[in-house]
């Protein structure tokens, strides 16, 4: 294809990508470098139905409007927001490393910082859910592939349900089921003969339920991709393996898995990216006390009575950096494979 | 054809009768009234009453949504503003004041506000910025029958509640005698604010944004909250105001500190287990640590008028809202809320809020940086309530989180 034709071909997507992906990211990066102007505060008389009149502090809006007109972005803070306690907390971490009473103390005190607490859960979610969901998806794909043709359609439909349901709704459904009067919660109480057992009260059990939800909701994606991949496994190779006396497990291990490996890389890439942005189950499970994620931190900064755009921007940029770090090994591997094939 | 005729006639009659209803609203001139507010029964009632003012020259629309706090600043920043009326409370008026998005109402009050009482006017720096029409507070709901069986008197303080809870539990009457909305997030922070107000101490150093909760009062509040949690359902960290109302109505708990605005729905005939409603007593919020004032923030709900709209729209909006909160509306709906309007006769659901206000409870603070503190409390107290952190550490974390946010917000 001549360069000109190629360029004309991808121009619409290129424009869309710049408008809807590149520019918003640039704006978030710029936003994260600024904080609000110092507020001009004045003391004024303030009267209301309860308690009568008192002297209270107010923001001097006229003075603030002048400041805003001269510098609409706020005041430049450089990387200050990235380094403060709400994010990378360099000075706090430094203080912890300087004075501590052993490794356990260091971990518990760093875990007390909001960013690291969120990062811990985010990473655990990523690295537990991704392999488990892929394994489960692969197992379902193998099972469905072995079914008679008649039953395949309905089974595929049911297997895809977790992916079709809106994540927030899906997490709410599971959350209601694990309540003590829900079907799973009540069954567990009965099974362990412990009427006070509740999956919602301890951090470990909350994490376990969130991870379970993650596997449940992510497995269908792996299943769909692997199932499609299974249709392309060469029948000749499988047959010759059977003639050589390979068992079903050996055929899966030495024929099917190597064949699906490039697909697995692709699925891992997408799933890692998705799981790093875990958010809905935390809200759905009301798990804020025990588990937070980077996306939840952004949500928390932007909701409520006061909105911190700089802080939310900094967390967003750190999330992007995190995704890039996570994907680097997979990308390097893909790049090597690609070069290998070309040669 | 006959059907068409019938429809036309009935439509005509509808227009005539509706026109008659519009007439008593009597808005002068033309204008557009666009209301933005929270979504609960009392506000919906106010909105529908305001909609009666719609006529050939005045249009009235209302958007009642729980997301109103996220909508109001952007919606009122544009010119002309998306909404002409913002229904606000102690906390949600602050962002509008900080950004200078609402207009002084003194001239409108003088012209159209004859039915308003002086204490309804929210004055800031001598200018009326909002008009309040209802009050709200969290206060004590308790089951008289259970307390009688346990042999304890009506509790008036958190210390009484703890003693009563221990007796109820020991007597085997209830497993979890106490409930409170302490779900991490807005609810948990509100619980701390309530209790801290009850100690009589201030959140900030006078005249500055410097936080001052890291003291014996803060510790006392946290100690009480932790002690109460021992008598709560183990899932207490996932309970918000609606969940504890459900627990209470199911007869699973004997005492709860709950919103006055939910009292009506709690003591109505719907949804409660046998004997709950008949034995429910509404009382002032409990005091804390030997204090004398009820440990609960008093809230007002009111309306403010947007700045970036035409004067005609502002006048029409103000008149429609004054009609919506008229003494006649309140007289017809006394049970819906604790109204602050002239001639209001408190119903049985309002006694808790009124007792709390009469007890001298303090209003939810309106400082411009209070929202930042509320957010810091909402996330940093979670670990303390879960029991994995001590009180000193929790207060230090709140201060660190608040300082970080206040620096970013330009207050420190």
pLDDT tens digits along A270-309: 999 999 999 999 999 988 888 999 999 999 988 877 788 9
Q: b/e string for A234-271 if b means 16 or more Cβ within 10 A?
A: eeeeeeebeeeebeeeebeeebbeebbeebbeebbbbb
Q: Is pLDDT of B264 > 50?
A: yes
- Closest C-alpha among B155, B150, B181, B180 to residue B166: B150
pLDDT for position B11? 44
pLDDT for position A107? 92
Angle at alpha carbon of residue B383, lines to B379 and B388, rounded to 5°: 170
CA A293 → CA A118, A119, A128, distances in Å?
4, 6, 15
Tell me which DSSP letter residue B363 carries.
Answer: B
Q: Give the chain B residue nearest A54 (alpha carbons).
A: B124
pLDDT confidence band for B12 (50 / 70 / 90): very low
Q: Give residues 2 to 61 of B whose Cβ lies within 8 Å of A.
A: none
Q: Rounded to whole angstroms, how far apart are CA atoms B186 and B378? A: 6
Q: Is some CB atom of chain A closer than 8 A to the CB atom of B404?
A: yes
- A63 C-beta neighbours (distance < 10 Å), count: 14
User: Which tokens sit at A341?
Assistant: 């094939």
Chain B residues whose CB is inside 8 A of the A42 CB are: 125
Chain B residues whose CB is inside 8 A of the A86 CB are: 401, 404-405, 408
If you write DSSP's letter for every residue of B332-346 in order, what string do you get? H-TTSSEE-STT---
Domain B137-297+363-408 sits in CATH 3.40.50.10680: no
- B352 C-beta neighbours (distance < 10 Å), count: 27
pLDDT along chain A (343 residues), means of 10: 87 95 95 91 87 85 88 90 93 92 91 93 96 96 92 91 90 88 87 81 87 94 95 91 91 92 90 93 88 93 82 95 89 81 59
Compute the radius of gyration of chain B from its Cα atoms.
23
If you write DSSP's letter for every residue of B150-216 in order, what string do you get? HT-PPP-BHHHHHHHHHHHHHTTS-S--EEE---TTHHHHHHHHHHHHHTT--SB-TTS--B---SH
Q: Is pLDDT of B235 > 90?
A: no
Q: At what angle do helices A149-164 and A203-230 cross, to 10 degrees?
A: 140
Nearest to A37 among B121, B372, B410 (CB): B410
pLDDT confidence band for B317 (50 / 70 / 90): very high
Q: Any idea what the CATH number is for the domain that residue A185 is in?
A: 1.10.3720.10
Q: Rounded to whole angstroms, how far apart are CA atoms B246 and A176? A: 15
CA B66 → CA A284, B37, B234, distances in Å?
17, 8, 28
pLDDT for position A341? 67
Phi, psi for B68 (deg, rounded to 5): -60, -35
User: Which tokens sit at B326?
Assistant: 């008229």
Say whether B137-297+363-408 and B19-133+299-354 share the same fold.
yes
CA B385 to chain centre: 24
Chain B residues whose CB is inside 8 A of the A114 CB are: 379, 401
CA A277 to chain centre: 2
Q: Rounded to whole angstroms, how far apart are CA atoms A25 and A257? A: 38
Helix (H, G, I), strand (E, B) or coil at A259: helix
Q: Is pLDDT of B386 > 50?
A: yes
Q: Is residue A318 part of a domain?
A: yes
- Closest C-alpha among B44, B110, B77, B80 to residue B313: B80
Q: Rounded to whole angstroms, how far apart are CA atoms B235 and B239? A: 7
The verdict on a CB contact (< 8 Å) between B366 and A303 is: no
Which residues lie below 8 Å from residue A251, measured CB to CB, with a gap of 6+? A238, A241, A242
The verdict on a CB contact (< 8 Å) between B408 and A35 is: yes
The arithmetic mean of pLDDT across residues B354-375, rounded, is 92
CB B346 within 8 A of CB B338: yes
pLDDT for position B24? 56
pLDDT confidence band for B62 (50 / 70 / 90): very high
Q: How would you class A165 by CB atoms within 10 Å of its CB: exposed for 0-12, middle for 13-18, buried for 19 or more? A: middle
Which residues lie below 8 Å from residue B136, measured CB to CB, with a gap of 6+? B89, B259, B260, B261, B298, B299, B300, B301, B337, B338, B353
Query: Percentage of chain B with pLDDT > 90?
Result: 74
Chain B residues whose CB is inside 8 A of the A44 CB are: 124-126
Phi, psi for B204 (deg, rounded to 5): -125, 155
CA A86 → CA A112, A279, A295, A307, B379, distances in Å?
11, 18, 14, 14, 12
Which residues lie below 8 Å from residue A250, measured CB to CB, with a gap of 6+? A241
At CB < 8 A and 24+ separation, what contacts does B332-335 make? B333/B45, B335/B264
Helix (H, G, I), strand (E, B) or coil at B109: helix
Tell me the residue length of chain A. 343
Nearest to B125 among A51, A58, A92 (CB): A58
Chain B residues whose CB is inside 8 A of the A43 CB are: 207
Say how many Å lie between the first and final Cα of chain A, rounded: 22
CB B357 within 8 A of CB A50: yes
Q: Which helix (H) or strand (E) holds A94?
A: helix A90-98
In this predicted structure, which of A196-205, A284-293, B113-122, B214-223 has the lowest mean pLDDT? A196-205
Task: Provide the domain count of chain A.
Answer: 1
Compute the radius of gyration of chain A from its Cα atoms.
26
The verdict on a CB contact (< 8 Å) between A81 and B374 is: no
Q: Is pLDDT of B6 > 60?
A: no
- Domain of residue A199 covers 118-342
Q: Is some CB atom of chain A closer than 8 A to the CB atom of B366?
A: yes
The verdict on a CB contact (< 8 Å) between B238 and A286 is: yes
Q: Rounded to whole angstroms, how far apart are CA atoms B337 and B264? A: 8
Q: Rounded to whole angstroms, how far apart are CA atoms B46 and B322? A: 10
Q: Is pLDDT of B8 > 50?
A: no
The torsion angle over the Cα atoms of residues B37, B40, B44 and B46, rounded to 10 degrees, is -80
Domain residue spans in chain B? 19-133+299-354, 137-297+363-408
Phi, psi for A318 (deg, rounded to 5): -65, -35
Give domain B19-133+299-354's CATH superfamily: Periplasmic binding protein-like II (3.40.190.10)
User: Which tokens sit at A37?
Assistant: 């102007």
């Amino acid at each position: 294809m001549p360069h000109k034709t190629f360029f004309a071909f991808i121009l619409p997507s290129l424009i869309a990508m710049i408008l809807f992906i590149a520019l918003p990211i640039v704006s978030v990066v710029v936003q994260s470098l600024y904080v609000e102007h110092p507020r001009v505060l004045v003391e004024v008389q303030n009267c209301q139905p309860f308690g009568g009149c008192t002297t209270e502090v107010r923001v001097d809006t006229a003075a603030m409007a002048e400041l805003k007109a001269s510098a609409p972005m706020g005041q430049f803070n450089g990387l200050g927001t990235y380094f403060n306690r709400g994010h990378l907390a360099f000075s706090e971490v430094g203080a912890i490393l300087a004075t501590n009473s052993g490794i356990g103390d260091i971990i518990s005190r760093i875990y007390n910082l909001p960013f690291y607490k969120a990062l811990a859960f985010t990473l655990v979610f990523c690295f537990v859910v991704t392999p488990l969901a892929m394994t489960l998806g692969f197992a379902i794909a193998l099972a469905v592939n072995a079914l008679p043709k008649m039953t395949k359609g309905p089974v595929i439909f049911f297997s895809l349900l977790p992916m079709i349901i809106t994540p927030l709704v899906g997490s709410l459904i599971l959350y209601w089921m694990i309540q003590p009067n829900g079907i799973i919660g009540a069954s567990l109480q009965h099974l362990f003969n412990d009427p006070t057992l509740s999956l919602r009260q301890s951090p470990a059990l909350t994490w376990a339920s969130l991870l379970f939800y993650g596997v449940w909701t992510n497995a269908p994606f792996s299943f769909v991709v692997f199932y499609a991949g299974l249709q392309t496994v060469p029948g000749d190779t499988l047959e010759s393996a059977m003639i050589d006396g390979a068992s079903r497990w050996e055929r899966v291990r030495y024929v099917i898995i190597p064949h699906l490996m490039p697909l697995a890389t692709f699925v891992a890439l997408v799933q890692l990216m998705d799981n790093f942005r875990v958010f809905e189950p935390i809200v759905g499970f009301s798990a804020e006390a025990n588990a937070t994620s980077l996306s939840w931190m952004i949500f928390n900064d932007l909701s409520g009575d006061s909105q911190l755009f700089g802080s939310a921007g900094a967390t967003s940029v750190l999330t992007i950096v995190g995704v890039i770090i996570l994907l680097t090994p997979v990308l390097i591997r893909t790049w090597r494979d690609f070069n290998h094939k070309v040669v | 054809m006959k059907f068409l005729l019938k429809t036309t006639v009935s439509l005509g009659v509808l227009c005539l009768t509706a026109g008659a209803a519009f007439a008593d609203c009597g808005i002068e001139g033309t204008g557009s009234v666009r209301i933005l507010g929270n979504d609960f029964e009392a506000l919906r009632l106010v909105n529908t009453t305001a909609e009666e003012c719609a006529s050939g020259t005045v249009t009235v629309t209302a958007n009642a949504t729980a997301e109103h706090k996220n909508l109001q600043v952007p919606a009122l920043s544009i010119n002309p503003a998306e909404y002409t009326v913002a229904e606000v409370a102690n906390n949600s008026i602050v962002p509008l004041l900080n950004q200078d998005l609402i207009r002084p109402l003194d001239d409108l009050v003088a012209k159209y506000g004859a039915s308003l009482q002086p204490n309804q006017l929210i004055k800031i720096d001598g200018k009326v910025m909002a008009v309040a029409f209802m009050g709200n507070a969290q206060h004590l709901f308790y089951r008289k029958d259970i307390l009688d069986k346990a042999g304890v008197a009506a509790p008036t303080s958190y210390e009484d509640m703890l003693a009563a809870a221990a007796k109820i539990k020991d007597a085997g009457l209830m497993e979890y005698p106490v409930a409170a909305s302490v779900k991490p997030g807005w609810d948990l922070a509100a619980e701390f604010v309530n209790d801290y107000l009850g100690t009589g101490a201030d959140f900030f150093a006078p005249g500055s944004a410097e936080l001052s909760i890291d003291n014996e009062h803060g510790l006392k509040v946290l100690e009480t909250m932790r002690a109460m949690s021992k008598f709560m359902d183990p899932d207490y960290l996932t309970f918000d105001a609606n969940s504890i109302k459900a627990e209470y109505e199911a007869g699973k708990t004997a005492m709860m500190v709950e919103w006055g605005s939910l009292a009506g729905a709690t003591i109505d005939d719907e949804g409660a287990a046998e004997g709950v409603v008949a034995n429910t007593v509404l009382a002032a919020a409990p005091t804390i640590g030997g204090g004398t004032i009820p440990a609960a923030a008093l809230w007002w709900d009111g309306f403010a008028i947007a700045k970036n709209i035409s004067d005609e729209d502002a006048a029409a909006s103000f008149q429609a809202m004054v009609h919506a909160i008229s003494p006649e509306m309140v007289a017809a709906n006394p049970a819906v809320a604790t109204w602050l309007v002239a001639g209001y006769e408190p119903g049985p659901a309002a006694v808790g809020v009124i007792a709390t206000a009469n007890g001298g409870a303090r209003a939810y603070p309106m400082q411009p940086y209070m929202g930042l503190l509320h957010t810091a409390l909402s996330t940093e107290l979670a670990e303390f309530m879960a029991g994995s952190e001590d009180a000193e550490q929790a207060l230090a974390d709140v201060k660190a989180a608040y300082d970080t946010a206040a620096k970013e917000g330009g207050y420190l």
